[in-house]
Amino acid sequence: MDGYPLLELFWTMLWLFVWVMWFFLLFKVITDVFRDHGMNGWAKAGWLILVLVLPYIGVLIYLIVRGRSMAERDRERAREQQEAFQQYVRQTAAPSASPAEELHKLSALKDKGDITQEEFDRAKQKLLT
C-alpha cells in the first residue's frame, strides 16, 4: 500500500475524469462543426484542422467564438426532433380507416368465420357509437 498513496489515487481519478470530459468536449465540437449547415466546406475544414492540430487551444477558441450558436443549434435540433416525434404520434394514433371501411372488414371477418355474430354485433355497435 506504500507504493500508491490515497492522495495519488484521487489525483489519478481526477485526471482520468478530466481526460474523459476533454474527449467528450472534443467530439461535441467536431459533431457541431459537421451539423452546422450555415458553414461552408472550407470553414469546416479550417475548424477541424485547428481542433485536431491544436486541440486544447482550438476547442477553447471554438467555444469562445461559436459557443452561443452551438447552443442554439442544439436547441433547434431538439425542437425538430420533438416535432418529428409528435407528427409520428399523430399519424400513428389517428384512425386509419373510416367507420364504413372498418364495418366492411368486420363483415369480411364474420363471413370467413373468424368472429361470431355476437362479436360482430358488439364491434359494430362500438363503431357506430
DSSP H helices, the chain, are 6-35, 41-53, 55-93, 99-112, 117-128
Residue 31, C-beta contacts closer than 8 angstroms, at least 6 positions apart: none
**pLDDT digits 0-9 by tens, 39-73:** 999 999 999 999 999 988 999 999 999 988 998 99
Domain segments of the chain as ranges: 6-94, 96-129
Question: In the numeric block, which cell numbers belong to residue 60?
Answer: 477553447
pLDDT tens-digit series, residues 102-125 = 888 888 888 988 889 998 888 888
Calculate the dihedral angle through the C-alpha atoms of 31, 35, 36, 42, rounding to the nearest 10 degrees: 70
62 close to 25: Cβ distance less than 8 angstroms = no
Packed helices 41-53 and 55-93: angle between N→C axes, nearest 10 degrees: 130
- The pLDDT mean for the chain works out to 88
Give the C-alpha separation, 111 to 59, whole Å.
Answer: 70
